[in-house]
Amino acid sequence: MFSCENEAGKSVASEEYAPAFQEQLALTQVQVEKVMQAGIEVPTPKDMAGGPTHEIHKQNWYTLRDAGALYRLTGDERYAVFLRDALLLYAERYPTWPTHPTDRSYATGKIFWQCLNDANWLVYVSQGYNDIYDWLDEDNRQKLDNELFRPMADFLSVENPQFFNRIHNHSTWGSAAVGMIGLVMEDDSLVNRALYGLPPDVLPDDLRDDDTGKIKDKYGRAGFLAQLDLSFSPDGYFTEGPYYLRYALSPFLLFGRALATERPEIGVLDYRDGILKKAVLGMLNQADPTGDFFPINDSQKGMSVYSPEVVKAVDYAWYHFGRDPMLLSLAEQQGAFTLDVEGAAVADAIAAGEAVPYQPSPVAFMDGPEGDEGGVGVLRAYGSDDAQTCLVMKYSAQGMGHGHYDKLAYSLYNEKGEVIQDYGAARWVNIDQKGGGRYLKENNSWAKHTLAHNTLVIDETSQYEGKISIAEDLHPDLYTFDVANTDQQLVSATTDNAYPGRDLQRFNLLVTIDAFTQPLMVDVFRSAGTKNAQHDLPTWYLGELLQTNFPYATRNRLQPLGNGHGYQHVYAEASGVPKPGVAHINWLHKGTFYTQTMATQPGDEILFLRLGANDPEFNLRRDPGFLLRRTAATTTFASVLETHGSYDPREEVPRRPYGEVANLELVIDTEDYVALQLTHNDGTTWVLTLALQDPDRTTEHQLKINGQTFSWKGVHHLIKTDNESK
């Protein structure tokens, strides 16, 4: 057994619990007793995710966990009896079930269509089993150990090594499931199997999963400790992204918490310089101002810091990792608590008034176990009304089978959510009507491709040829991340391997200037090669197009934009040729106006896009976008995005509906420097200078522009043309 710091014997109405925790406990009682009265169902498995049998068994893992918690917290034996009887029913039926009849996973489960969900079940139910283990008589304990839990642990590990023996969120669940039930049953062989994995020679080197990700990684390690060593960068970034980190943190924290008491010599809560603490705090810093996680890689949009898994992460992080009072304000907003000593302590601290407001910071995350495989940069700036603008640049490693071909892509967020979006995944999780809740074929044909992201596509071909076998061994590199001046925040990255023979370098800035009510997003993207190539730079905005400063022609007969690499899923609804100089595109979204201003060159074309071609089952959203197309060997794209004004349909009064950037010009464009001149409608002009070859912040630079000398130190500087720094 593992210690849960048992609170058994307290009454639900006990004043020893904070009122918020009492409410959580009472709500859980109602939910569990409803099932107790109706009787638990244990149907023969047959359905995919979202189907009836899948959802019944999924709800059972929560109910059985909660029944154990209620017994532990209240001492009421009715919950223990219910849990025992339900587990005995599973013990009677589990041995009679073959592997799941759907047979649609690289690791088919028994209770569910994939071993992953069987592992979910075991992680949660092992907590309930632990709560009643000493209460059970010896005969029932032996029956459950030998006819249900030990066979289940063997099924998830030795019978499915391709599931158990890898570095992936699936195997984190697998190792935690086997390890936690091993701790409950005091079975050291299972615990050691969970910690260190199976021998590496049980799997062939080239085996891949349903997402074409490698099963056996280059390190040849497996088990829970290997997951801690290899899944995270030194600063806690999870290579699969925040959506999957949110999912994987539960087994990391639950098994880690149990190991902390039962195997204290491992020091799991302090392992790798506190990697679990860094992972939780890093995850929380990968959310937009509304609390939604950045939907990078394979992510379902809308997953947020308010999800049940994050409730656990916040409660456990506060209790075990330094009791940061900012976490209490998040817990208060979540309005839920884990039914354990951690949740009770958090509720007590909130009731005592210890919470302080949570405010995420700009951060540059590293990727890769050694922190040398690129990363993700997050900028956060504030406008005149203290509204937050958040920019994310992705220059990370591939992210295994869940990664996208999206290097040097950015996305933009504010207090209303997404502004410039990352598509996320083509999937409806647990919705049976949409492919049984699995990833749809459009995830590979659209969502993973470079065109689905806000980054350059060369010759209508995705980065790394759209092949994971190439991408998984390569990554971009951070050039610089500088947020020392909060009014001029910068992230920049480079890559010379996304497209052979082509060097890419991007600069994204959030610039706060008094002349503008909200921070400006400045984008400078340089592509250098020896041969002419078609450059397509998409912007996937959200909202309704209002106006442009150039003529365009709509197309009454829509045709796909191309034949592959995502182009087959996009229509060009209209196109236009802007005059050399500057192009403005203005749109409205959720009551806020936006204007993107782009420096244009002779031969440029702008296409207005609509997603949805070759999509007979309507698996893709009909999202809008626009694309700047240019043919060149070496070229630099430059744009500024303004957030301005408002419109309330109840008042029908637009405020500041037009952008205030009058002109944008590349006044210097060499392999060493770029200088961008921005002019306000009132005539005020600024010059942004960028050093492309030297990221040292102490290096002094000097440029002569239109007869005027500009001097600065470091990579970038914003200068008024009268040389008065702003």
Q: Which two tokens stand for residue 502?
A: 């082509």
Q: Which two tokens stand for residue 642?
A: 């303004």
DSSP H helix total and E strand total for the chain: 17, 25
Domains of the chain (ranges, CATH numbers) = 249-360 (no CATH), 363-658 (2.70.98.70)
Catalytic residue, candidates 168, 402, 449, 565: 402
Q: According to the model, what pLDDT value does residue 212 have?
A: 66
Q: Which two tokens stand for residue 680?
A: 């306000």
> Are the C-beta atoms of residues 299 and 279 closer than 8 Å to each other?
no
Q: Write b or e for each residue in 587-618: b if 16 or more Cβ atoms lie within 10 A of its Cβ, otherwise e.
A: bbbeebbbbbbbbbeeebbbbbbbbbbebeee
- Locate the DSSP E strands across 91-200: none
| Sole residue written with tokens 């000097």 | 702
Strand, coil or helix: 227? helix
> Are the C-beta atoms of residues 53 and 45 closer than 8 Å to each other?
yes
> Are the C-beta atoms of residues 547 and 596 closer than 8 Å to each other?
no
Q: Is residue 565 among the annotated active site residues? A: no
What is the pTM for the complete model shown?
0.95
Q: Is residue 244 among the annotated active site residues? A: yes
Q: According to the model, what pLDDT value does residue 9 have?
A: 39
Q: According to the model, what pLDDT value does residue 200 have?
A: 81
> Are the C-beta atoms of residues 73 and 6 closer than 8 Å to each other?
no
Summarize pLDDT for 214-272 with one digit per residue, the tens. Answer: 676 767 789 999 999 999 999 999 999 999 999 999 999 999 999 999 999 999 999 99
442: exposed, middle or buried (C-beta count within 10 Å: 0-12, 13-18, 19+)? buried
Q: According to the model, what pLDDT value does residue 61 have?
A: 98
Positive or negative: CA dihedral 694, 698, 699, 703: positive
**Which residues partner with 481 through β-bridges?**
491
Concatenated DSSP letters for 615-633? -TT--S---EEEEEEEEEE
Catalytic residue, candidates 124, 237, 244, 247: 244
Q: Which two tokens stand for residue 530?
A: 């020896």
Q: According to the model, what pLDDT value does residue 543 have?
A: 98
In Å, the largest CA–CA distance within the chain is 92
Report, as ranges of residue numbers, the positions in the chain whose pLDDT lies below 70.
3-15, 203-206, 210-212, 214, 216, 218, 722-726
Residue closest to 252 by CA, chosen among 205, 192, 291, 194: 194
Residues 547 and 550: their CA atoms lie apart, in Å, by 9
Q: According to the model, what pLDDT value does residue 149 have?
A: 99
Residues 86 and 580: their CA atoms lie apart, in Å, by 73
Residues 630 and 635: their CA atoms lie apart, in Å, by 9
> How many Cβ atoms sit within 10 Å of the Cβ of residue 52?
12
Summarize pLDDT for 632-691 with one digit per residue, the tens. Answer: 999 999 999 999 999 999 999 999 999 999 999 999 999 999 999 999 999 999 999 999
